[in-house]
Amino acid sequence: MRRREFAVLIGPSLLVMLGLLVFPLIRTVQWSFQQVSYGSPGVFVGLSNYTQALSDPRFGRAVFFTLLLTGIVTALILLVGYLVAVGVNGLGRLRPYVLGSMLVAYVLPGVVGAVSFSWLFDSNFGGVLNLVIERLTGQEFLWFTDTWPNRVMIIAHTVWHLLPFSVLMILAGLQGVPKELREAATIDGASAWKMHLYVIIPTMRGIVGFVCLITIMDVLRTFDSLIPLSPQADAIGNESIMFYVFDNAFRDGSQRLGLGSAVNVLSIVIILICLFPFIRDLLKEAKAKA
């Protein structure tokens, strides 16, 4: 490929990336050291925004909750996603329809799905699941105002929303496992359990890593679903980092864009730390293939 041809092909993507990724990132880092209001140039305040964020117990609670949510949801997505994918893989002609209907949860706008999901637990709007759980346990749960019941509801919604993607990916991985490998394992007398643990899962390690990567990124960015699912998130310790940023930087005409930017920079660091093992593995795999 000629140099000019290469430049023409890559140019538009490069421009979009510079405009939508690199420039906002540079501006975010710059603002994180400034006090910024709309329409006026920022004033340099050194590390003040970082000090304010790091000394705010509310930010600490938001980080704890976000990491807790990420850990639990990622584990559940991998486990349930694998089991569902194995089940769907065994379906016959029904498979495309099951897959298609599952995708509804994934393509629904986040806040629409979250509102519908919240109604399952809200007795004002029927609250079917709330009713079933109350009948089964004989206990009344305050899903929106008690910390742990609310966390369970948020986790359940996040898993419901993100599960179809992981199922689709793992299903693709399952279908990529060579038949010969399975046959050889069967001849060697491997049980179904051992077949999955020692043959199938190691073969699709790359896909599992990719699912983890995407799920962690998605969950760390949790924001809009909390508006209907946790209306008093801050008061009960179920506020996500992104919700904290919105509340400080924008809500009710607030203009603390410097503080919001500082928290965003800290979030990027947290995300990179969480993703480091997966990015390293993916790079290693790519190098090995090259």
Partner 1 sequence: MMRYRTHLRTGLTAMVITATLVGATACGAGSRTGADDATAVDCDYTAPESETTVNVLAYNSSAIDPFTNTMVKSCTRDEVTLKHDPIDFSGQVTKTTATLAGDSGSYDIIETYGFAVPEIASAGSIVPLDDYVTEYGEKYELDALDEGMRSALSFDGKLYALPMQAQMYVMAYRQDVFDELGLTPPKTFEDMIAAAEAIREQGDIEYPIALPMNATADVSTIYQAAMNSTGTDFLDAGTPQFSSDGSREALEGLRSLLPYMDPQVTTFDQPKVQQQMFNGTAAMSIMFSGRMNDLTLDTNSKLSEEFAFAAPPSLDAEAPYLFSRLSVDGWAIPENTKLDKDMLFQMIASSVGEDASKASVPAAYPAREGIVTEESSKYAVAANETIAATMPAPNDPASAPVTNAIRPVLVQVLTGQTDVEAGMQEMQRLAEETVAAK
In the complex with partner 1, which residue's Cβ is closer, 102 or 195? Answer: 102
235 binds partner 1 (CB under 8 A): yes
Under rule CB under 8 A, residue 191 binds partner 1: no
172 near partner 1, judged by CB under 8 A: yes
Taking only Cα atoms into account, the Rg of the chain, rounded to an integer number of angstroms, comes to 23
Q: Is 254 in the site for partner 1 (CB under 8 A)?
A: yes
CB of 40 to partner 1, least distance (A): 7
Instruction: Considering the complex, state which of residue 213 and residue 237 has its C-beta at the smaller distance from partner 1.
Output: 237
Cβ proximity to partner 1, 71 vs 126, nearer residue: 126
Q: How many CB atoms lie within 10 A of CB 216?
A: 19
The answer to whether residue 160 forms part of the interface with partner 1 (CB under 8 A) is no
224 contacts: CB under 8 Å, gap ≥ 6: 110, 111, 114
Confirm or reject binding of residue 251 to partner 1 (CB under 8 A): yes
- At closest approach, how far in Å is the CB of 57 from partner 1? 11
CA-CA distance, 134 to 49, in Å (whole number)? 45
Q: Which long-range contacts (CB under 8 A, 24 or more apart) does 171-179 make?
A: 171/85, 171/88, 171/89, 171/99, 172/207, 173/85, 173/203, 173/204, 173/207, 173/208, 174/85, 174/86, 174/89, 174/200, 174/204, 175/89, 176/203, 176/204, 176/207, 177/203, 177/204, 178/203
Terminal CA-CA length for the chain = 19
Contact between 204 and 176 (Cβ < 8 Å): yes
**Rule CB under 8 A: is residue 144 a binding residue for partner 1?**
yes
- Asked if residue 92 binds partner 1 (CB under 8 A), the reply is no
DSSP 8-class letter at 94: T
Shortest Å distance, C-beta 179 to partner 1: 12
Q: Which of 175, 202, 268, 284 binds partner 1 (CB under 8 A)?
A: 175
- CA-to-CA separations, 284 to 34, 208, 281, in angstroms, rounded: 39, 15, 5
Rounded least distance, CB 84 to partner 1, Å: 14
Binding mask 64-83 for partner 1 (x = CB under 8 A): --------------------
| Segment 93 to 132, residues that bind partner 1, using CB under 8 A | 95-97, 99-101, 103-104, 106-109, 112, 123-125
* Cβ atoms within 10 Å of 74's Cβ, excluding its own: 24
- Name which of 106 and 270 has its Cβ closer to partner 1: 106
With a CB cutoff of 8 Å and minimum separation 6, the contacts of 67 are 270, 274
> Between 208 and 274, whose beta carbon lies closer to partner 1?
208
Where along the sequence are the contacts to partner 1 (CB under 8 A)? Answer: 37-40, 95-97, 99-101, 103-104, 106-109, 112, 123-125, 142-145, 168, 171-172, 175-176, 231-232, 234-235, 250-255
